Structure 1
Amino acid sequence: MTRTHTVTVGYAGGEERRGPVTMGQANMIRCMLRDEPEHINIHAVWPVPGGTRTEAAIDALRALVVRHEALRTTFPHAPGEAPREQVVAAEGEFTVTVLDHDEHPPEGYADSVARRNRVERFHLDRDFGLRISLVAVAGAPLSVALAASHAVTDISALSVLEEDWRDLLAGRTLPAVTAFTPLDLAAEEATPGGLRKAEASLRHWERIIRTDPQAMFAEPGAVGTEVEAEQLTLRSLRGARALALAAERTGGLPSTVLLTAWCALIAHRAGQPSCVAAVPTSNRFLPRLARSVNTVSQDALLSLDVRVPSFDALLRKAWGAALNAYRHSRFDAVRLWEVIDAVTYERGSRFARDVVFNDVSALPSGATGPAEGPELEVVRGQVQVLPTRVLTFVHETAPVLRLGLWVDPALFTPDEAEGFLTGLVRLLEAAATEDVPLATLTEVTGVRPVERGAEWRRVDGSWVSPSEVADVLSGALGGVPVHVAPDADGLVAFLASGGSPLTPERAHAALMDALPGRPGVLAPCRYVIVRDAPAEADRTGAWLRQRILTEGAGRDRRS
C-alpha cells in the first residue's frame, strides 16, 4: 500500500533581484517552448542516507532553495513571446510529494517517479523549477526523485545540488557561494570580452554548417525529424580495460580516446569523410562556473576529418578538434539560429543535428568499490521519441564502460545497433595494443558502411539522392514535372511550369520549406524553368533542348 501526501515548504532569506537571461537560459527556454517536455526536462534520483528523518530531508531542500538563486527564479513574459528577463524571489514556497510505502518498492521505482515528473511542461513565468517526490518506506525516506526545468538547472547543476544536500544532511557547514549566479553570468556575458566569445562561437558554427555534410545519416530510409528509438545500454569491463590501455599506449585522455573511436566508427558506418556531431559540454571550465547552479551546458559542434591513415593519427586531430568545439560552445541561441537559417537557405541544406555524443562520465555516479560487472553486456530498454538519429550517452568509463545508445531503427536493425556497441569495444581493444589502420575498420569491428546505391552523389560535401530531390521539389510545387541532374557545380533542376508563373526563387523557397526530415535532399544550385517537359523526361539532354523561360539560383529572396 502507498500513502501519498503533499508537504508545502515555505522559504525566506534570499535576495530579490532581476535582470536579463543568460545565453544558456535563452537556449534552453527556446527548446522548452518548442520541444515536448519529456524530451527537454531533466531528472535525478538522490539516495537518502540511512537514518535520515523526513523532516531533515525537507529542511535540507529548503536550505538549498535559499542558498541558490536559480531555484528561486522565474521568467516573466508576455503570451506568445520568449522570456528575456529573469526574476529571483526573496521568499516563497514549493511542494514535496511524499510517497510512503508499506514495503520496499521495486528497483527502478524512484527513477520511474522522476521520469513521470518530467512529462508535464514547466510554466516559466510561475512554476518552481523542481518537482520533488520523496519516496519512503514506513515513514523512513529512501530517495528523492525530482524533475527539473532545464531553464533553471542542467545535469551538472543537479550534481552540485545533490552534493550540497548531502553535506547539509551530514551537518556540515557549507562555504559561501562564490560561483556565478545566473544574473552574475548574464552580466559577464554582456561585457566586451563575453560578446567577443559569443561572436567567435557563431563564426565557428557557420564555417562547419556552410562546408561540412548537412547530415551524417543521409541515406535510404532516413526520413522524418523524430524517431522512436529503443535504448541500448552497454556495460563492459573489457571495454574499460581496453580504453585505459589505449589511453596509456597513446598518451591520450581516456575521454578523448573514446570520442575518437566513436567518431571513427560513426563516420565509417555513415560513409562520411568527417564526423559532425553535437557534443554537449558543461561549459564549466572556469572556476566561477565549475559549481554554478545554473543551466550553462550548450552544444559544442564538433567536426573531425577522418581522412587519415590510422587511429593514432585521428586521435592527434581529435584533441584539437574537440578543444576547438568546446571553446565555441557559449553563444546567443537566437542569433545562432538566425545564422543557421541564413546559411542553410543560401546553401540549400538543412542542419540536421542527427548525431549527438554526450559524455557525462565526469559527474558523480555513486560507483565505489572494486570493479564489478559483465565482461560485455548489451541490455535493451525503453523506447523514446528523439529528434536525432544517433544519440550516445557516456555514463562511466571506469571501472566499467557504461554507455547508453539510441539509434534510428530505420537505419540500424536490432543486431546492427548492438553490433555498433560491440564493435566500439573491439576497436578499443585493437587500439589498446597497436595503431589501427582505419581502412581495416570493417574487419576489426564488424561494422559495415552503408550501401547507398549508384544514383547517390556527393554534392557540396553532402550525400544526395537526385531522384529524391526531384520528387520532393515536384511535390512542393504541386506536382509539376521536375528533372534533377548533377553538373560540375552541384545539382541542376529542370522544371516544366506549364505556363504558370514559376520562378527560381519560388522553387527554392518551396523546396526549403519541404526539407526538414529529408537528409538526402540538397537544393540545386540552379533552377531552369521551361514551359513543357520533353517526351524523354528522364534524359537531361532532352530538357536542355527545351526553350528556357528563366533560370537562376533562387537564393535572392523568398517569394
Structure 2
Amino acid sequence: MTAVKATPDPATVIRSGPLSWVQQWHWFERTIPAPRRVNPTPLADHCHVPPPATVSDVHMALASLTARHEALRSTIGPLRPVQRVHRPDWAPLPIDHVDVPAVDAGTLEAATAALAARPIDPERNPPWLARVLLEAGKPRAVLIAAHHVMIDGWGLAVLLDQLHDRLRGADGPAETALHPLDAIAEQNLERARLSECEWLARLADNPTGVLAPFGGIADGKGRHRLQYRSVEAYDDLDRVARRHRASPEIVVLAALAHEVATRTGEHRFLASVVVSNRARAALRTSVDVRALTVPVQIDLQPGAAFGEVVASVATASTAGYRHGRYRPAELVAAWSRQDRRRGVVAIPTIEFNCYAWPRGYLVPTRTTPPGGDATWISSAPDEPCETLYVDFSRDAGFITLDVTVGDHLLDAAQAVALPERLCGLLHALAGGAECPVLSDPRTPAASGWWRAPQGWACLTTVEDVLQSHPGVLDVTVTPSGGTSGEGDRPHLVARARVTPGVTIDELHQHVLDHLGDVPGLLTPGRYILSPAEHGTATGGSSVPPMSSRLAVTTSERALAAAVAAVVPDDSRQPSYDNPGSVDMNRCLADHGVTLVEIPRLLMLLRQSGYTGIAADELAGTVSLGHLAAALEPFPPRAHHGGETSS
C-alpha cells in the first residue's frame, strides 16, 4: 500500500467544521471494540475494469474522484466530532496492486474481505483504501474499502459507479457534488426532534424480545452471520412484486414480517429500516454519509392474505420514511433514559437494509451455482447481537440475503433455515398461493417465558439476576396484576429472602444495571422482601423512586470527575461543577451526556489511570456506580529486565 502521511499537515486544510448528526454516530461507533460492533467497518465492494483501461487510468480516475468528493480527502478529530477537508493532493492516493491468477468470484470475495480487514485511520489518513487486481499484468478489478464516518453503503455504490463510468470513458455527473460539510446547513432541529419523539413512542408502544421465546439457545451471548444466495428466488420475487404492484424491497420486508408473525404469533412489532436519505437528485451523486434507520410499524391482521401484508408494510414504510433525519446521539441518550424508566430494554424485532441501486459495475461472473442456492455461515460465541439484521440485494440474476442474528434469538440451524423459508414463501406466492397470516405461533413459547405488556420476559432470567446480588439468599419471580390489590397492569412480583440491610431500592438498581447485558430481563413491578431470620416481609405496591448516591471509592471518584468534565453546557447544572455531586445511581444519559462526549470521557479515565469499560457500555442504561465497579487500573509497565514499575 502506498505510504501516507503520519499526521495531517494543517497547511493542507481548506475548510473544516463539525460532523453532521449522522456522521457523529459513526464517529462514536469506531470507538466500540470490533467484536461488539454489528455493522461492518469499513465498508468494502468492487467494480470491474472495462478494457482497454490501464492501471494509469485507474489512478487518474481515482484522483479525479478525490478532487470531486471532499469526503475522500477529509480527516476527523479524535476527541471532538469535527472534520477537516484537505486539498486534493494532500496525500498520496491510498492504492496498491495485487497479482492474481484469475479474477473469479472466489478471488474477488477473498480479496474484498482482506481489504476490508485492513485498518483505516480517518484521523490521519484518507478515509478509504483501493486495491487493483491484476491478471496477467492487466487490471481486471478495483476494490475499495471506505470508513463509515465519511461514506455509507449507498455512497460507496455511487463512488464505484462513477469510477466505472470514468474507466469506460463516460462523462461524470452533471450535478455539482454535495459534501459532508454542506449537510450541516440542511439539518433541521425541529424536524429532528419530531423524529426522535416518533422513535421513542414506537419503541415504548411495541413489544421487545419478540423472537427470543421461540428459538435460539439458552444463555446465548454470541451471534451468527450468514449469506444466502438464490437464483430461483430472483424470478419468484419479480413475479410477486408485479402481482402486488410493490417494489421487490417492500415484498422482502413483508415476507420477513410474515415469517416473524408465523414463528411467534406476534402481529404487531417494530422494524428498523435503513433509508438512504437521498431523495433529491443532487444527493444521488454524492458519496457522503446520509443513511439512517427509521421506525416502521408492522401491524398484521391474523388471516390476512399476503397481498394485504404487502399493502400494510408499504403504507407503514411510507410513514416511517418521514422520520429519517434526526440526531442519533440525542436519540440514543433519550432511549437509554426511557428504558431505565420502563425497566426494560426496547429493541426493534428486525432491522432491514436493502441495496436498491443498479450495480452494473460488478465483475461479470456468476457467483452462485447454476439454478441453485449457496449458503455460508460463521458463528462467534462471544460477540453479542441484540436483534435480527437482514440485508437484501438483487444483482445479475440472483438475490442475496445477509443475516446477522443473536444466538439467543436463533440457533445456527434456525438461522440457516430463515432465508430458505423466506425464499420458499416467495416461491409459493409466485405460484399463486395466498399464504394468510397465522393466528398462533408455529411452536409455543419456551418454558419460563411470560408475555408482559412491555414484551417477553424470562422469569428464570429475572430470578438469576436477582440471585446474583450478594444479599439475596433465594428468590422467586411470578407474574401478577389484574387482580384486587395488584393493580390493573400486569407486572412481575419478586419475593426474596435477603440478608439484613438489603432494600428494595438496592435490588431494583441491581436489576436495572443488568438490563443491557441480559436478554429477556424485565424489572419487577413489586418486591416483597423477607429477612433471613424469621420476621415480617416488607414490600410495596410499586418500586419507590430511585435514591441518589455520591461517589465513594477511588474509581467512582475518577468516573464522577470525568463525567462532570464532559457534561455539555446546555445540560450542565450547578452541581455538575463538583464531581462529588454526580449521582452514581444514574446512567450517563441521565446526566445529559450523549455519545458525542464519550471518547473524551474515556480519555479522561485513561489519564486517571483507569480502563476496563467499552464505549457502548457508557452509552447504555448501566448506572455510573456499576460502571465504576468494572474499571481496572492500567497494568504496570514492564522494564526490559522483566521487572515492573507503577
Q: 1:257 is paired with a residue of what secondary structure? A: helix
Partner amino acid for 1:322? Answer: S
Partner of residue 195 from structure 1, selected from 157, 167, 189: 189
Cα displacement (A) at 1:14: 9.7
Give the conservation status (yes or no) of the 8 Å contact 1:96–1:134: no
Equivalent position SS for 1:94:
coil
Which stretch of structure 1 is more off in the superposition, 172-181 or 222-231? Answer: 222-231
Instruction: Give yes or no for the alignment of 1:146 onto 2:144.
Output: yes
Tell me how far apart the structure 2 counterparts of residues 100 and 531 of structure 1 sit (CA, whole Å): 71
- Counterparts of 2:219 and 2:49 in 1: how far apart (Å)? 42
Q: Which amino acid aligns with 2:84?
A: V
* Corresponding residue of 2:209: 215
- 1:50/1:275 Cα in 2 relative to 1: closer, same or farther (>3 Å)? farther
Which amino acid in 1 is paired with 2:24?
Answer: A
Q: 1:512 to 1:388 in 2, by over 3 A?
A: same
Query: Unmatched 5+ residue regions in structure 2?
Result: 482-488, 549-584, 586-646
1:496/1:371 CA distance change after superposition, 3 Å: closer
Q: Distance in 2 between matches of 1:453 and 1:531?
A: 33
When residues 495 and 413 of structure 1 are mapped into structure 2, their CA distance, relative to the original with a 3 A threshold, is closer
Does the Cα contact within 8 Å between 2:212 and 2:409 map onto a contact in 1? Answer: no
Compared CA separation, residues 24 and 546, structure 1 to 2 (3 A):
same
**TM-superposition CA deviations, 1:346-394 (whole Å, max 9, x none):** 1111134563221113342557899997545242255565634533221
TM-score (norm 1): 0.84
Partner Cα distance (1:401, 1:123) in 2? 33
- Residues 1:523 and 2:523 are matched in the alignment: yes
Q: Distance in 2 between matches of 1:132 and 1:369?
A: 21
The equivalent of 1:466 in structure 2 is 459
Check 1:270–1:121 CA distance in 2 against 1; reply closer, same or farther (3 A cut): farther
1:245 CA drift (Å): 2.6
Matches within 5 A, 1:307-386: 307-310=301-304, 311-353=306-348, 355-364=350-359, 366=361, 374-383=370-379
- Checking the alignment, whether the CA contact within 8 Å between 2:261 and 2:438 is kept in structure 1 is no
Mapping 1:233-272, distance limit 5 Å: 233-237=228-232, 239-272=233-266
Q: Deviations over 1:196-225 (max 9, x none)?
A: 221121111101211212223232755678
* Structure 2 letter corresponding to 1:475: S
Using the TM superposition, give the Cα deviation of residue 136 of structure 1 relative to its aligned residue in structure 2, in angstroms: 1.4
Residue 376 of structure 2 aligns to a residue in which SS?
A: strand
- 2:104, 2:434 → 1: CA distance? 46
Aligned residue identity for 1:510? H
Distance in 1 of aligned mates of 2:443 and 2:92: 52
Find the counterpart in structure 2 of residue 298 from structure 1: 292
Cα drift, residue 255 of structure 1: 2.1
**Higher alpha-carbon deviation: 422-431 or 125-134:** 422-431
Deviations 1:383-408 (A, max 9, x none): 56563453322111784333233444
Q: Secondary structure at the match of 1:529?
A: strand
> In the alignment, which residue of structure 2 is the partner of 1:6?
2
How far did 1:72 drift?
Answer: 1.3
Task: Output one character per residue of 1:255-283: Cα deviation in whole Å (capped at 9) or x when no partner.
Answer: 22221111110232234232423222211
Q: Structure 2-normalised TM-score?
A: 0.74
Is contact 2:219–2:408 with CA below 8 Å preserved after alignment? no
For residues 218-262 of structure 1, the C-alpha deviation after alignment (integer angstroms, 9 at most, x for no partner) is 32755678624241313132x233323323333333322221111
The percent of aligned pairs where both chains have the same amino acid is 22
Instruction: Name the count of aligned residue pairs.
Output: 528
Distance 1:297 1:223 in 2: 35
Find out whether 1:456 has 2:455 as its counterpart: no
Instruction: Tell me, in whole angstroms, the C-alpha distance in 2 between the residues paired with 1:430 and 1:250.
Output: 14
Query: Against the structure 1 CA distance between its residues 354 and 372, is the aligned structure 2 distance closer, same or farther, given a 3 Å change threshold?
Result: closer
Deviations 1:431-472, CA, capped at 9 Å, x for gaps: 33243321289xxxxxx7343235321101411122221111
CA distance in 1, matches of 2:97, 2:91: 20
Computed over aligned residues only, the root mean square deviation of the Cα atoms, in angstroms, reads: 3.3
Matched-pair contact (CA < 8 Å) for 2:526–2:539: no
* 1:39-54 paired onto structure 2 within 5 Å: 39-54=40-55
Counterpart residue type for residue 513 of structure 1: D
2:21, 2:329 within 8 Å by CA — same for their partners in 1? no
Q: Tell me the equivalent position of 2:640.
A: none
Aligned to 2:509: 509
Q: 1-side partners of 2:120 and 2:541: how far apart? A: 50
Paired amino acid for 1:320 = T
Whether contact under 8 Å (2:275, 2:294) holds in the other structure is yes
Distance 2:476 2:293 in 1: 38
Question: What is the alpha-carbon distance in structure 2 between the residues aligned to residue 31 and residue 48 of structure 1?
Answer: 33
In the TM superposition, 1:30-45 aligns within 5 A as 30-36=28-34, 39-45=40-46
Q: Which residue of 1 aligns with 2:486?
A: none
Q: Which residue matches 1:445?
A: none
